[in-house]
Amino acid sequence: MTSRKALIIRHVPYEGVAGYRQPIEQAGYEIDRIDVSDPAFSSLDLREPDLLIMMGGPMGVYEQDEHPWIRCQMRRLAQRLEADRPTLGVCFGAQMIAAALGGDVYAGPRKEVGFHAVKVHEAAREGPLRHIVDVPVLHWHGDTFTLPQNVDLLASTDVYDHQAFSRGRNLLALQFHAEMGEDERFDAWIEQWPESVCEAGGDEASLRAAHDRLGPPAVAAGRAMIAEWLSGLGG
């Protein structure tokens, strides 16, 4: 029996699948990964993997002149979404999904960085996001997006209304990082973007302390969320 294939698209080395790897592997997927800097990336047919996971990155979807691969990835992502192939997007990955479905991605009013819970909408509390209700999870972004047509908004925060959305069983877009909380790459995030912590009104010591205290339960909740989503995928 041929195992199912999952492909992770990594936009920068320090934003990987982290805590989500466990439920993906437990669901029976053989995981592969490609960086957008890989020369082979431009020739991939993104419709082929049984599961596509697009992670985060510091760039904006609107920075296509600076990062020409964004336009290339968006075109192939739109083909995958048109075919309703199982797709998960996290942070920048979620923003790319929103744009591929016709939404606008733009810089928000301020950075949202730190651990706090999202407000899971009532209709979404019967689905995978029930696992993160009242669980502080990591946020680290400054961009947001208009909600595409024909999707269901699942969660919001006081800072940004659009924190998670889905379309049917096969598409899940998450602005927040419930995969992060036990991964050593968190140190690289602070080293890469210390100004983002300050712009969001925090400080490095407090964020590290919150990560040590809240990270493990956030990842446990995130894994349960992804496991349930994967169990409900269609063909």
pLDDT in tens, 124-173: 999 999 999 999 999 999 999 999 999 999 999 999 999 999 999 999 99
**CATH class entry, domain 4-231:** alpha beta
Q: How far apart are CA 128 and CA 172, in angstroms?
A: 10
Question: What was the pLDDT predicted at 54?
Answer: 98
Q: Is the separation of the CB atoms in 95 and 15 below 8 Å? A: no
Three-class SS state of 170: coil
Q: Cα 163 from chain centroid? A: 10
Q: How far apart are CA 14 and CA 33, in angstroms?
A: 13
Q: How far apart are CA 10 and CA 7, in angstroms?
A: 10
The pLDDT tens digits of the residues spanning 48-102 come to 999 999 999 999 999 999 999 999 999 999 999 999 999 999 999 999 999 999 9
- Per residue, the 3-state secondary structure of 198-225, as one string, reads HHCCCCHHHHHHHHHHHHHHHHHHHHHH
Number of Cβ within 10 Å of residue 189's Cβ equals 23
- The answer to whether residue 199 scores a pLDDT higher than 90 is no
Q: How do the domains of the chain map onto residue ranges? A: 4-231
The pLDDT tens digits of the residues spanning 90-117 come to 999 999 999 999 999 999 999 999 999 9
Q: Is the separation of the CB atoms in 119 and 162 below 8 Å? A: no
Number of Cβ within 10 Å of residue 78's Cβ equals 17
- What single-letter amino acid sits at 146? T
